[in-house]
Structure 1
């Protein structure tokens, strides 16, 4: 859909679109008013019950884990206990207020957005979807939010605290606070707040009129020409609302700048403590004003540079001067020259960016495929599945080993194909261009890319890859790992130590990934699916003796192997995957 050309055509398109837009907006508001009370009650009551019900347990267990932490010194434990006390006291109030705000906002806005999305391109039965979309689905998603919070409080929290309690000090040295530098750091932090808060407030207030006028100009231009956010039907209500609420957005930006100035100024204490120098702390206080000024200029597309000087405040980091916004502007201009995008182009026409949730769906789809093979081989047992369904932590082989094994197969395949990114089993490739622009995703993507390059440099043989796969899968069960290793040929000692280190690192990355709430929910669905597949193929596991189960598993393994080989022969890209399945089964 191309926007109209010329002022009269644009004006006529706008007038013709207004009744349609207002009708959808009115319908969405009615749906939002009807749905949001249910969403509000579900999220507020559910989240509040979880937060208040577990608050005492979390408080006691937090202090206990800090007291028993092996890698923390006594002074640091005391400081952490004080800081944690503030968090524990404010957590119930913050969590309940946040649940109320999210419940009202999501319950009211989600039906409106779903109403406009129902008339998008490629949708059938638009009228029916206009009335139904965003009603029951919004209520179901609110229940999912409560479930995810439950997973965080029941699983992720205890997993993190167990790591804090049980992990040994790195290199045998505990973390401790150097008391002699505390007074000077506190003075520098207080001085940083006193200087940065008024100066950053002044900078933000002076630039706010420019932000207000420039934002209004851009939004009105897009409204008249049906460009930018007004081109997509689902975005029209929010883009129109942005025009009315833009002054509030500007005021919110100023308030955010003022609030951030406290933390920006107080960070001078951290710099003074880290560098063991009051002079470096003072240099940071002045440089932080320059950094904020340059960053705001870059965001508002104002001339780069700053009137404030920028000094070197870290001994081991070279000074970049006032080149931050200059480099950002040059990088943005080069990107625009390489990939010129029309302002009138649809959001759907931009280079597609992979979504983290889609990648998680792919990961657990691979976990299910590999899990079926391992169940047939007998590597994953009925006891593992039963333990995962009954125990909140689950079997380590299923909760950590199986996802880590699936990720490893992607790394091995990507290294063999000499890819610059990660090649998935469906031939999609994750690169720096289409990777999710998400900080949390970077925590996992960057270490996996480093691990892939190390695997590529080592040129593992087929036997070493098999040993690597076994280590990643069975690292949590020494008995089964020893049994499988006894059946394989011994490896070079240096290679074995190196692979063991890689396996532990990959399991550590996977364990961190498993702590996110949506991952835990998908893992439970995976265990349920594997259990249902076993019951369909072999009947009730309690009524089958060991020899029958073993015979059925071997038959199923041969059948799955044959099907995998036939599927791989249909496409040339899946030949290596077929060989990997044959090696496993």
Structure 2
């Protein structure tokens, strides 16, 4: 579709756009009104049942694990045991209310947004998709959300508690606070929470009109001028929906600021403990308000900095007055850098070419690659005998999925690191046409925690310079050995006899398995692993059936040739009797 040029063409495009938008909006609202109660009912009923049913176990087990752990010192343990009952008692209320709000938000906005996405440029049969999209998919999404929440309550929570209560190395010191610092920390927290909540809430409410009108101004300019996010979606009236829903985004930002202010106030106690000074804790209470004001000003492109005082709350930290004493040249350099970064940000927001040149991968794309790689490698390991049907059945029946849920993803990641180490890539070579670097990696803190260590491990593997035989041997060692000490590889076929080299590789394997164990606490991980196990189970059954079938035919031919001149053993109807063991049905096992 051609972008309108000129005043009258732009005006006519805008006028013709309005009825198209309102028809889609009314249709989306009707779908949302029908789907929303169903989604809210599913999420509320199941989540509330899980929260209330597991609350006694969560309450008792949390206190027991904190009491038992050796990772916390005696003073910190007493403080934690005295404070923990409050969030544990509030958890059912927060969980049920959050499920209600989340169900309403998802059940209402998912069908509404899907209605507008159905008229995209790449969508065929737009009329059908306008009515169908967002109905069944939203209901299925609610089942997925409930399943992930159950996985979190049953698996991730107990996994965290097991890690907290497990044995610690002898050289690791427990985390503790000094009893003499406790009064100042508590006083800083008691002062910081009400002060910061009040001041940050007042600032958020004061800045919210600026955010509302500046956002509307920018969205309208982009809509009329076909710039920004609407340059690529000229045919889609998604712009009107974004303008209409912008006040909800402003309300969400204000609510997020109010919630975060509570934790910012609590952090004053941490500052008081780190600096061993109540004065520093109180200074942080004042300074964090100024930092919040400066952050909001930068976000809304208001004036630089903040007029609020910002005292020093770290001993090695410079105050505003000390920073102002910098030379004019330094100030000019800082201002030039700031303006250039701002210009680059504006250019990146408006430049369609730049956004196409640098493709930003989403977390779900990396997640899909990981499990696709696990599926491919799982079939290879199943074919080579490193995974058998007993491992799959054990994972399905007993839930012991360490080999399939930990070792298999760790091997898949290790194989990616081996390929990346041999290439000249600065990142991770995911496939022939996909390379993950720090530039195009997802801007997600969770994935940054995982991808950062993987890049370090890749450089360690690169320095080891493994040969082909070592790489082949590693596949078996990862899947079938403990990899705790070099002696574990004595009876293996690892080519090298260097114990230092073995220890380095074992440390890398343990590190990868630890990363995968942390990934397994993400709710979607267990759901994807269950789907992977079902696929491998079907592959194992087919491979076993094919092997038995070929083996039976071979044995029959052998018997026929060896018993020439004698009669074949047949049933009463004259057919050869071939018996096969019945395999368990996956539906019965799941």
Within a 5 Å distance, the mapping from 1:3-82 to structure 2 comes to 3-82=3-82
How far the C-alpha of 1:192 sits from its partner, in A, is 3.4
Structure 1 463/143 Cα, relative in aligned 2: closer, same or farther at 3 Å? Answer: same
Between 311-320 and 253-262, the greater mean CA deviation after superposition: 311-320
Residue 569 (structure 1) aligns with? none
Tell me the secondary structure at the aligned position of residue 302 of structure 1. coil
Within a 5 Å distance, the mapping from 1:53-132 to structure 2 comes to 53-132=53-132
Tell me the secondary structure at the aligned position of residue 171 of structure 1. coil
Tell me the secondary structure at the aligned position of residue 539 of structure 1. helix
Tell me the secondary structure at the aligned position of residue 384 of structure 1. helix
Give the structure-2-normalised TM-score. 0.83
Residue 562 (structure 1) aligns with? none
2:458 aligned with 1:452, yes or no? yes
Which residue, 368, 375, 392 being the options, matches 1:361? 368
The answer to whether the Cα contact below 8 Å between 2:119 and 2:236 also exists between their aligned partners in 1 is no
For 2:106 and 2:234, the matched residues in 1 are separated by 16
How far the C-alpha of 1:240 sits from its partner, in A, is 3.4
How far the C-alpha of 1:356 sits from its partner, in A, is 1.3
2:420 aligned with 1:434, yes or no? no
The answer to whether the Cα contact below 8 Å between 2:201 and 2:258 also exists between their aligned partners in 1 is yes
How far the C-alpha of 1:519 sits from its partner, in A, is 1.0
Residue 297 (structure 1) aligns with? 297
For 1:93 and 1:15, the matched residues in 2 are separated by 48
Alpha-carbon RMSD across the aligned residues, in angstroms, is: 3.4
2:548 aligned with 1:538, yes or no? no
Question: Which structure 2 segments of 5+ residues have no match?
Answer: 325-329, 556-590
Residue 585 (structure 2) aligns with? none
For 2:363 and 2:114, the matched residues in 1 are separated by 21
Which residue, 383, 393, 398 being the options, matches 1:386? 393
Give the structure-1-normalised TM-score. 0.83
Count of matched residue positions in the alignment of Structure 1 and Structure 2: 544
Structure 1 76/396 Cα, relative in aligned 2: closer, same or farther at 3 Å? Answer: same
Residue 494 (structure 1) aligns with? 500
Residue 142 (structure 2) aligns with? 142
Tell me the secondary structure at the aligned position of residue 510 of structure 2. helix
How far the C-alpha of 1:336 sits from its partner, in A, is 4.4
Residue 571 (structure 2) aligns with? none
For 1:45 and 1:440, the matched residues in 2 are separated by 29
How far the C-alpha of 1:115 sits from its partner, in A, is 1.3
Residue 414 (structure 2) aligns with? 408
Residue 579 (structure 1) aligns with? none
For 1:312 and 1:465, the matched residues in 2 are separated by 53
How far the C-alpha of 1:370 sits from its partner, in A, is 1.1
For 1:256 and 1:133, the matched residues in 2 are separated by 30
Between 348-357 and 313-322, the greater mean CA deviation after superposition: 313-322
Output one character per residue of 1:206-250: Cα deviation in whole Å (capped at 9) or x when no partner. 544433432232233234335445556699777535545655654
Output one character per residue of 1:104-143: Cα deviation in whole Å (capped at 9) or x when no partner. 2211211111111111112111111111111111111111
2:169 aligned with 1:183, yes or no? no
The answer to whether the Cα contact below 8 Å between 1:201 and 1:257 also exists between their aligned partners in 2 is yes
How far the C-alpha of 1:540 sits from its partner, in A, is 9.0
How far the C-alpha of 1:363 sits from its partner, in A, is 0.9
For 1:353 and 1:245, the matched residues in 2 are separated by 25
Structure 1 147/266 Cα, relative in aligned 2: closer, same or farther at 3 Å? Answer: closer
For 2:283 and 2:72, the matched residues in 1 are separated by 30
Structure 1 100/237 Cα, relative in aligned 2: closer, same or farther at 3 Å? Answer: farther
Residue 352 (structure 1) aligns with? 359
For 2:525 and 2:339, the matched residues in 1 are separated by 35
Tell me the secondary structure at the aligned position of residue 123 of structure 1. coil
The answer to whether the Cα contact below 8 Å between 2:227 and 2:350 also exists between their aligned partners in 1 is yes
For 1:515 and 1:120, the matched residues in 2 are separated by 36
Structure 1 331/235 Cα, relative in aligned 2: closer, same or farther at 3 Å? Answer: farther
How far the C-alpha of 1:285 sits from its partner, in A, is 3.1
For 1:371 and 1:356, the matched residues in 2 are separated by 22
Output one character per residue of 1:165-192: Cα deviation in whole Å (capped at 9) or x when no partner. 1141572422223111011222233343
The answer to whether the Cα contact below 8 Å between 2:386 and 2:476 also exists between their aligned partners in 1 is no
Residue 419 (structure 1) aligns with? 425
How far the C-alpha of 1:358 sits from its partner, in A, is 1.7
How far the C-alpha of 1:515 sits from its partner, in A, is 1.1
How far the C-alpha of 1:404 sits from its partner, in A, is 0.5
2:520 aligned with 1:521, yes or no? no
Tell me the secondary structure at the aligned position of residue 429 of structure 1. strand
Between 518-527 and 21-30, the greater mean CA deviation after superposition: 21-30
Tell me the secondary structure at the aligned position of residue 264 of structure 1. helix
How far the C-alpha of 1:311 sits from its partner, in A, is 4.7
The answer to whether the Cα contact below 8 Å between 2:481 and 2:488 also exists between their aligned partners in 1 is no
Rg larger for: 2
Within a 5 Å distance, the mapping from 1:273-352 to structure 2 comes to 273-315=273-315, 321=323, 330=337, 333-334=340-341, 336-337=343-344, 340-341=347-348, 343=350, 345=352, 349=356, 351-352=358-359
Structure 1 315/231 Cα, relative in aligned 2: closer, same or farther at 3 Å? Answer: same
For 1:390 and 1:174, the matched residues in 2 are separated by 38
For 1:133 and 1:247, the matched residues in 2 are separated by 25
For 1:12 and 1:484, the matched residues in 2 are separated by 79
How far the C-alpha of 1:371 sits from its partner, in A, is 1.1
